[in-house]
Amino acid sequence: MAGQALTYGDKIIPFRVVCDPSRTSRIAIHVDPDGSVIVDAPSDAPDELIHRAVRKRARWIVRHVEAAENRYRHVQPREYVSGEQVLYLGRRYVLKVIISERANRSVKLAAGRLEVRTENTTREAVKARLRAWYRFHAQDYFARRIAEISDQLPWVKTIPPFRLLVMSSQWGSCSADGHIILNPHLVKAPRDCIDYVITHELAHLRYHDHGAGFQRLIDQHVPEWKSQKRYLDGLVEVLMAE
């Protein structure tokens, strides 16, 4: 991977080049929901060819980067106090922070609320408790869905190992050795969006790029994937906010 920059008027926009040995000639450019610009290029693509492709799409890149920045500008930092709304599996819950003895501390869903019982009600303490709760439930839910979805996909012969990793601009990834990585913040999204991300990463066990074969798999197994992707892209700053 290499970091470079596009100059467009008075703007300097960094972009990262990802060399993909499976690519033959086509250079693909995409802007992640957080505004990061990624350029997927063949391993032997010269710098001049890459820069030419970036300059050709400069206006498109700037427009999408500015849209991402505007979305994030309106996100208010969480205070982690009673009355705030939190998300879990696409549903909104009211956060309720309850002072409790250390021996009785817990985090649980109850009647439309996410109750945090703790002896320390500072912002950082409640945030840490919620983060741990999300990770625990993400680990359990993702493991079950990976197993269930893998069983429905003919090219997946064994359930792949997976782990959680907080990422600023990705919901998931699939490593070259077939390990699935999922963002724990994804557990806040609706179930169908989670299934789309998992299926997307499992499809990379067969196709390492996002070419025509990969797209056919996604279209076949997740027909409504475009609406799910739009949801995730549109609420990424809310889902990932801490």
| Whether residues 44 and 110 fall in one domain | no
Strand, helix or coil at 14?
strand
Contact 180, 146 (CB under 8 A): yes
Mark whether 48 and 9 lie in a shared domain.
yes
Q: Is residue 78 part of a domain?
A: no
184 and 130, same structural domain? Answer: yes
Query: Looking at residue 67, what is its pLDDT?
Result: 81
Q: Is residue 57 part of a domain?
A: yes
- Residue finishing a domain among 25, 41, 73: 73
Q: What is the pLDDT of residue 4?
A: 85
Tell whether 210 is covered by a domain.
yes
Task: Tell me, yes or no, whether 212 lies in a domain.
Answer: yes
Q: What is the pTM of this model?
A: 0.73
Q: How many residues does the chain have?
A: 242
Provide the strand spans (E) within 21-103. 28-31, 37-42, 85-88, 91-99
Of 73, 95, 110, the residue that ends a domain is 73
Name the domain boundary from 48, 73, 98.
73
| 35 and 142 fall within a common domain | no
Q: Nearest-CA neighbor of 186 among 177, 173, 175, 202?
A: 173
Query: What is the residue-level pLDDT of the chain in tens, covering all 242 positions?
Result: 456 889 888 888 988 888 877 776 788 898 876 678 888 888 888 889 999 999 999 999 999 888 877 766 656 678 999 999 899 999 999 999 999 998 899 999 988 899 999 999 999 999 999 999 999 999 999 999 999 999 999 999 999 999 999 987 789 999 888 999 999 999 999 999 999 999 999 999 999 888 889 999 999 999 999 889 888 887 887 888 87
Q: Each residue of 151-162: b (16+ CB within 10 Å) or e?
A: eebeebeeebeb
Helix (H) or strand (E) holding 136: helix 123-150
| Residues 230 and 151 both lie in one domain | yes
Say yes or no: 25 and 96 in one domain.
no
Eight-class DSSP state of 77: P
Are 52 and 105 within one domain? no
| Same domain for 34 and 9 | yes
Angle at 38 between CA 36 and CA 43, to 5 degrees: 155
Number of domain units in the chain: 2
Q: Which of 4, 6, 67 has its CA nearest to residue 34? A: 67
Q: Report pLDDT for 76.
A: 67
Domain of residue 38 covers: 2-73
Rg, the chain, Cα only: 20
Asked whether residue 220 falls in the same domain as residue 117, the answer is yes
Q: Residue 31 pairs with which residues in a beta bridge?
A: 37
Reduced to 3 states (helix: H, G, I; strand: E, B; else coil), residue 34 is: coil
Please indicate, yes or no, if residue 79 is contained in any of the structural domains: no
Q: What is the pLDDT of residue 37?
A: 87
The pLDDT of residue 1: 46
Q: 200 and 97 share a domain?
A: yes
Query: Domain containing 110 — which CATH number?
Result: 3.30.2010.10
